[in-house]
Amino acid sequence: MTEAAGQFITPVTMQALSQRPVYGSQWDARADNNMLHINLSREADACLIAPASADFMAKLAQGRADDLLSLLCLARPRQTVPLLLAPAMNREMWSHPATQRNMAQLRADGATVLGVGQGDQACGETGDGRMLEPQELLDDLVAFFQPKSLMGQQVLITAGPTYEAIDPVRGITNLSSGKMGFAIARAAREAGAEVTLVAGPVSLATPRGVRRVDVRSARDMQAAVAQQVDAATVFIACAAVADWRPAVAADQKIKKDGSGQAPELDFVENPDILAAVAQSARALSRALYCVGFAAESQDLLANAQAKRTRKGVPLLVGNIGPATFGQDDNALLLVDEAGALELPHNSKLALARQLIANIARRIRAGGQNDGH
């Protein structure tokens, strides 16, 4: 903790909450070699300064080292211990050319500046300069350490169920929670890709740095995908798109008519978004790597293989729908032209990262979007 940090909370509070020793002075007698700045910076995997004040960043930009924290930042082995900064300050201080200049210098010196949040500030003003939320900082720190295997790629992902209206108050949908698709979006972003997520109706938080387009029906999803797909280099269709929709959605709520007879509903098939995207990319010889999902209830391998050919995609990911919908974990079967690879039971995020690494390898190996 710097001296300024001690004005906000005490070292005792910090120690009690973190259950870790707190250091404030380079002369702390607990270090028997008087080399705290060396000891601490050698045992770290990374240094994250949160919050990083305008003053502290100015100090770092100048390479000054008059307290333990700035000293250990300067003394750290730069090749192995990255420095990340989570700025926090008043909006005027944030936008000041001096602060921006210092940040540019810190970036040029190899630091990663994580950005700031927007909203109410401690001083009562509103604007840019809030420290990111702790969970966001943790997500950014974790993302920092993921291999950047999809750098330069534009990834378009569909996720969640679709909802097909019967009338203004009712509809049909399915049990997809969207968790797998959202985990894939997060993993793709962590891997360095620009990610657009077209999401059906789910109540999940948007992963950090991911652009999200919310849709409701299969046809909304198809329209959103059509709008985004030209910019994409990878398309991952993870959504559980409703296969059918009511042929007509009633304008008014359908009422019981007292006869005891249920209304008859006619269904029509929805457009197959994945098959259409894959087919159009092939027709235009576009370099778009398409990945499909199959939520099956049995015979996973045979169904996934057949579906891969039918959809015309190089890679199809099978999972057992009823076993995974709504859960935080899953198991995947990656099916391609050559055979199948099992990704055993794990959290959806761990599986998403493995899947992204696998897709990245296929793209690097020059995988063509040819499912046939």
Enzyme catalytic residues: 123
Which ranges of the chain would DSSP assign to H, the alpha helix?
A: 5-8, 11-18, 36-43, 54-62, 68-75, 91-95, 97-108, 134-144, 179-190, 218-228, 273-283, 300-311, 321-324, 348-364
* For ligand CTP, the closer CB: 51 or 292: 292
C-alpha of 4 from chain center: 34
Binding site for ligand CTP (CB under 6 A): 158, 218, 237, 239, 241, 243, 270-274, 292-295, 307, 311
CB of 158 to ligand CTP, least distance (A): 6
* For ligand CTP, the closer CB: 112 or 354: 354
Q: How many other C-beta atoms are found inside a 10 Å radius of the C-beta of residue 337? A: 13
Q: What is the DSSP letter of 65?
A: -
Structure-token match 């500030």, residue found: 121
CB of 278 to ligand CTP, least distance (A): 9
* For ligand CTP, the closer CB: 236 or 360: 236
* For ligand CTP, the closer CB: 59 or 311: 311
Tokens, residue 230: 């030209």
Q: How far apart are CA 104 and CA 45, in angstroms?
A: 23
Instruction: Name 316's Cβ contacts closer than 8 Å, sequence gap at least 6.
Output: 291, 292, 293, 294, 304, 305, 307, 308, 334, 335, 336
CB of 274 to ligand CTP, least distance (A): 3
